[in-house]
Structure formats: structure tokens, C-alpha cells
Amino acid sequence: MSDRRVYLNGRIMPASEATVSVFDAGFLHGASVFTTLLAHNGRPFRLGRHLERLSANADRIGLNVPVAVEELTAAVEAVLKANGLLEARVRITLSPGPVGTEPAPTVVVTADEARNLPDWYSRGLGVIVSGVRQYEGDPTCGLKTGCYLTRVLARQAAAAAGADEALWFTHSGHLAEACYCNVFLVRDGAVFTPPLSTPVLAGIVRATVIELCEKLELSCTDDRPLAFQDLLSAQEVFLTSSVSGVRPVVRIDRRAVGEERPGPVTKKIMAAYAELLDEECPPPPQAPGEGD
């Protein structure tokens, strides 16, 4: 998008004109938090929950980023409107601002067209098990911070192996998550996902799927650690993320999951999630005369 517009510290401006100080704590130390969300029909999905988690993440690692919810809500709406986007990937990034100065948080909101591939949902994903391990003592684990290089490298390794994503285990051998997604297993019609204490990200779509399982009368366990054997014995596996939603996994390290196609429980949850998106983010009302 040649005329892409972004929000930076109170202003909508061309991306080419948006600059951040070389002394910004996010740039120097990765001292930032962010959240990425989906806009559907021009409306951000569960923005309030994203902003709650963003604030909680900042508090967890002691970042001084006092930004009002009202400002961030207005910024998201303004960026979507400025770029004319209906289906979009929106990212909000906060850092404490330049080191050694009076507190002046850096606030950035960007939006890009959401490009989800149909094959992800109809044919499913192939993933690998990453050699990287998630350390329970890492204060950034389970949070969305600017310290993302390890995840980027693991995702690059997956791509080099011909896979779409990589699954992580903890140092103690428990299933954690994927580089950018939460992970769910299905066995005998029941759904399982690693507990937040693993630690894993408190994903907004993760929580949404747990809600949907209750609505669909599916058993869902989210408080029991999962081992490698649980992954191998799963009849279905799927990943969740804010922008890509619910995506089936059909191969792990080139080993088929179930019948190597999206399974019935996964498809039921995918359909329920699509319905929920349309319900919470309906198309904007047409002006009189439009569509006649």
C-alpha cells in the first residue's frame, strides 16, 4: 500500500513520515508490548480484551506506558478508516519512549490487509516440532513483548523445512504453543489446550474457543499440562491466533494427524467461530440507495 497511513503519538500520518527516536526503549532493549488483532467488516474483534491484556502485559514487566483505552480505541478506528480497510490485521505497539527522558510513551497503531490463505482452512497446515524450548522462568514467556527474535527464527526454521508453523515444548517437556499461535488437541471428541501456567500466551481466540466449546457442549480441558505423547495420540490438532482464527493442523514433522485432513470437531469449532465473527463484527449498515 503506497499511501499506507499509521497512527503515531496522537497523529495519523503517512508511514514514510513516521519515525521513532533512536533512544526509544523498545528499539534499544525490546522493552515494548504489543497486541495484534483482526478487524472484520471494518470492526475490531474483541478490542476491549486485547487492550486489557496489553495493559496487563505492560504491568507484568514494569513498563511505564500509561495510555488511555479511549485513545487506543480511537486510534484503531482512525487507522482502519484512513486506510479504507475492512478485513485487516491491526497491531498496537507501546513502549516507554526514549530512555533517560521524562516519561513519554511511544504509541504506534498500524493496519494491513488480512491475507489468510484458503488452503490453511480447507487442507490444513503442516508443522514441525521446534528444537527451541520455552523456559518457565523467562519473564517474557506468555506475554507479547518486543523480544520476539527467538520466535521469528523458529518460524523461519519451520519455513525452511517446508512447514507452516513450529510447535514449542517447555524445558520440562510440556507442550506450550506455536511461534505465533496457541495450540489445541482433540482426542475422542474432547478438546485440550495447555494451561496458561505452562506458560503460554493468554490468546484472545484461545479464550474464545474455550467459550465456544462450552456453547457447543464439547468437553474442553485447559488446566492440565500436556506431554509429547498427548500430541502424538491426538486425532485432531488446531492452532488459534487473532488474525488467522482457527486453523487445522494435518501434519506434524511430516507425520499425519488423524486422516491428514481437517477433523469434525475442528470444523465444528471453525464454523462456530466464523458465525461469532459475523455476529460481533457485522457489516456496516448501508446508506439509503446503496445496493439498489
Mean pLDDT throughout 141-145?
Answer: 94
pLDDT in tens, 6-47: 999 999 999 999 999 999 999 999 999 999 999 999 999 999
**Do 32 and 95 meet the contact criterion of CB atoms below 8 Å apart?**
yes
CA distance 89 to 54: 16
Mean pLDDT throughout 88-100?
Answer: 96
* Phi and psi torsions of 50, nearest 5°: -65, -40
Q: What is the pTM of this model?
A: 0.95
**Do 99 and 2 meet the contact criterion of CB atoms below 8 Å apart?**
no
Kindly provide the residue ranges of all beta strands, DSSP E only, lying in the chain, ordered along the sequence: 5-8, 11-14, 33-40, 43-44, 88-95, 106-113, 125-134, 165-170, 175-178, 182-187, 190-192, 220-221, 236-241, 245-252, 255-256
C-alpha cell at 123: 487442507
CA distance 84 to 187: 43
Angle between helices 204-215 and 264-280 (to 10 degrees): 110
Confidence at residue 191, expressed as pLDDT on a 0 to 100 scale: 98
Mean pLDDT throughout 236-249?
Answer: 98
pLDDT in tens, 146-169: 999 999 999 999 999 999 999 999
Confidence at residue 130, expressed as pLDDT on a 0 to 100 scale: 95
Say whether pLDDT at 287 is over 60.
no
SS3 8: strand
Percent of the chain beyond pLDDT 90? Answer: 90
Residue 48: alpha-carbon gap to chain centroid: 15
Classify 118-278 by CATH class: alpha beta
SS3 75: helix
Say whether pLDDT at 1 is over 50.
no
What ranges do the domains of the chain cover? 5-113, 118-278
Mean pLDDT throughout 106-135?
Answer: 95
158, 163, 173, 257 from 153: Cα distances, Å: 9, 13, 20, 25
Q: What is the CATH number of domain 5-113?
A: 3.30.470.10
Say whether pLDDT at 170 is over 80.
yes
Confidence at residue 269, expressed as pLDDT on a 0 to 100 scale: 98
Does the CA dihedral 211-217-218-220 come out positive or negative?
Answer: positive
